[in-house]
Amino acid sequence: MIVVEELHKSFKRPGARSFRLPFGIGKPASSVADERVIAVNSVSFTADDGRITGLLGPNGAGKSTTLRMLATLIRPERGSARVDGHDVTQDVLAVRQHLGFMPHNAGIYPRLSARENIHYYARLCGLDKRRAEQRVGQLIEQLDMGKFADRRATGFSQGQKTKVALARALAHQPQTIMLDEPTNGLDVMATRGLREIIRQLASDGHCIVFSSHIMQEVAALCDHIAIISDGCIAMQDSLQGILQRTGEEDLEDAFVKATRELSTETDR
């Protein structure tokens, strides 16, 4: 279970002067806001156990940044977030123990086999050798990776890489699972397979957070949807709830309406 309250995060603008030249050479930044990119302005949402929560937003909306803060990779500037009751800024190791995070890029080790990749993570999560091997075998079966499990990862297809990355994130049987655009680059069959796995995990009682910019995907899979735009949550509800509240027929129109409402609100 994840509870997020008014998270805020900004970054130094790449290329901005980190030090001022002496004698006033170079134009001074006009304001602090000019020097920083606000990636996440104010994000609040709740993701319950046994439910699939979709973080839906366009490119650059702040999805990845939010998930990174939840995964304790970067520290929020303001606001708070708890994963299974552990605060992401204070209880860092406990949060990581409860969380399986699959980032945007698979990032698997090309010189290790699929099995070794997963085994490495299982061991790092504190499983002993025997239990790690057991768990890896179980995951290989669960994700149907038998065919390529013992091949080195060099040259794996996108789908195979995603499966390895997902298995790695699941290695320590985390209660909460976060996936950043997991269906990126997958074909129809692979996407369907992945959805099946995600549904299964949710029905096993896991809390699943899933980011995407694809409406159909979110509509097809998620029980709960949080629409994020420009670093703010525009609306969050079930699919039905969102359609009702916006009075639209499909998610795409609802999405446009919700984000437009948000921007007029902030303009005021």
Partner 1 sequence: MSLFIVMIKEIVDNLRDRQTVFYALLFGPILLPLLLGGSLVASFKQLSIDFDEVTTLSVQHAQRAPRLMEFLHSQNIDVIDAPEDVQNSVRRGDVLAVLEIPEDFAEQLRQGRPAPLTLHVNSADKESSKAARRVQAILSVYERTLNNLRLQHRGIDPTIFDSLNLVENDVSSDGSNGQLLASILPFLFIMSMVMGGFYLAIDTTAGERERQSLEPLLSLPLKRSAVVFGKYGATLCFVTLSCLLTAISIYTLFHLFPVELMGGQIRFDGRTLVRAFLLASPLLPFISALLITVSAVTRSTKEAQTYLGLMMMFPMAPFFLLQFLSVKSTTLTMPIPMLSQYQLLESAVLGDSIPLMHIALSATGTLAAAGLLLMLASRLYQREGLLD
Ligand X SMILES: Nc1ncnc2c1ncn2[C@@H]1O[C@H](COP(=O)(O)OP(=O)(O)OP(=O)(O)O)[C@@H](O)[C@H]1O
Binding residues for ligand X (CB under 6 A) = 11, 14, 37, 39, 57, 59-65, 213
Contact flag: residue 146 with partner 1 (CB under 8 A): no
Contact flag: residue 156 with partner 1 (CB under 8 A): no
Measured from the CB atom, the residue of 145 and 222 that comes closer to Mg ion is 222
In this structure, which amino acid lies at residue 159?
A: G
List 102, 145, 221, 225, residue binding partner 1 (CB under 8 A): 102
The whole-angstrom separation of Cα 103 and Cα 179 is 6
Size of the site for partner 1 (CB under 8 A): 33
Strands 78-83 vs 2-12: parallel, antiparallel or unpaired = antiparallel
Stretch that binds partner 1, among 20-28, 43-51, 102-110, 236-244 (CB under 8 A): 102-110
Minimum CB separation of residue 141 from ligand X in Å reads 31
Specify the DSSP element, H or E, that contains 114: helix 114-124
Q: What are phi and psi of 2, to 5 degrees?
A: -120, 130
Minimum CB separation of residue 71 from Mg ion in Å reads 13
Measured from the CB atom, the residue of 18 and 59 that comes closer to ligand X is 59
Contact flag: residue 126 with partner 1 (CB under 8 A): yes
Partners of residue 40 on adjacent β-strands: 9
Q: Are 4 and 45 in contact (CB under 8 A)?
A: yes
Q: What are phi and psi of 115, to 5 degrees?
A: -60, -45
